[in-house]
Amino acid sequence: MSNVIFITGATSGFGRAAARRFAEAGWSLVLSGRREERLQALRDELAAKVPVHIATLDVRDAEAVQGMVDALPEAFRKVTVLLNNAGLALAPEPAQKVALQDWHTMIDTNVTGLVNVTHAVLPLLLETGKGTSIINIGSVAGEWPYPGGHVYGATKAFVKQFGFNLRCDLVSTGVRVTDIAPGMAETEFTLVRTKGNQAASDALYSTTTPLSAEDIAEQIFYVATLPAHININRLEIMPSRQAWSSFAVDRD
Ligand SMILES: NC(=O)c1ccc[n+]([C@@H]2O[C@H](COP(=O)([O-])OP(=O)(O)OC[C@H]3O[C@@H](n4cnc5c(N)ncnc54)[C@H](OP(=O)(O)O)[C@@H]3O)[C@@H](O)[C@H]2O)c1
């Protein structure tokens, strides 16, 4: 039986690129996200290569997540990798200008959603144990502060620490846990963050060389296919043309 990867946020960006990368290697795919037509298109693209199960899912809805996992067909229940990828940033403006709802949406998706999916899928990983993985998509924003990072960065710090703490509890189960923390990568991320401002998204990624979704998918595949005795705790990846900046100092 082939390996199975369960991907949240497979309709775009890293999740979709990961689906393609794992399909190339013959893995069976469980693909979820809210945009059903995109899931169908991806299934149409990949089902000739590998078994594909799609499920429309909002990770914020704990009951729906559990129901979707409970309803997984037998051939997709032996999950080898959970890729907790669904997530978003909103509100690039300073904290004092942000609508509370945007903060809630980021927490509900990046924190509560990730916890919902982990809780529902973990029993399936434990059934196999050795060699299985939870791969969480964190961010450099979970480690390094920057203006406008406020709640987004804090949710990714949660992702990092949740993963480290999971490792402590799962150490004897064979289930590995990794925080993959990308820097700037060109996906629909900025389009979502700016609520549809294509020009802002294009401006951010032009005149530099961001990471691509495929770059991150390759790292996810690397982590997932390491020998079972190796656990990458955290993998932080930036484009070579991105680095940190100096401290801000308020002056008279
Ligand atoms: N791009 C970057 O620079 C960057 C850097 C570091 C970390 N990240 C992280 O990488 C992950 C993937 O982002 P991306 O860059 O690939 O952005 P993207 O192209 O916007 O993809 C985000 C994915 O998350 C899904 N999603 C969002 N809210 C959801 C919800 N409530 N329920 C289910 N799925 C949901 C979206 O699917 P639907 O809209 O169809 O539901 C989409 O498939 C995110 O966790 C993001 O925070 C991105």
Q: Answer yes or no: pTM beyond 0.85.
A: yes
pLDDT digits (tens, 9 = 90+) for 71-126: 999 999 999 999 999 999 999 999 999 999 999 999 999 999 999 999 999 999 99
- Taking residues 50-69, report their average pLDDT: 98
HSE-up of residue 70 (Cα within 13 Å, Cβ side): 6
Which residues does 229 contact at the CB level (< 8 Å), separation at least 6? none
pLDDT digits (tens, 9 = 90+) for 129-187: 999 999 999 999 999 999 999 999 999 999 999 999 999 999 999 999 999 999 999 99
Q: Which atom of ligand 1 is nearest to the CA of 8?
A: 34
Distance in angstroms (rounded) separating the CA atoms of residues 242 and 170: 34
Active site annotation includes 222: no
Distance in angstroms (rounded) separating the CA atoms of residues 154 and 135: 18
Asked whether 59 lines ligand 1 (CB < 6 A), one says: yes
Q: Which atom of ligand 1 is nearest to the CA of 188?
A: 19
- pLDDT score for 96: 98
Residue 7: name the closest of 30, 27, 24 by CA. Answer: 30
Q: Is the pLDDT of residue 1 over 80?
A: no
Asked whether 34 lines ligand 1 (CB < 6 A), one says: yes
Asked whether 113 lines ligand 1 (CB < 6 A), one says: yes
Distance in angstroms (rounded) separating the CA atoms of residues 4 and 78: 7
- Tell me the pairing of strands 176-182 and 234-237: parallel
Q: Which of 146, 152, 205, 222 is catalytic?
A: 152
Asked whether 11 lines ligand 1 (CB < 6 A), one says: yes
Distance in angstroms (rounded) separating the CA atoms of residues 103 and 217: 28
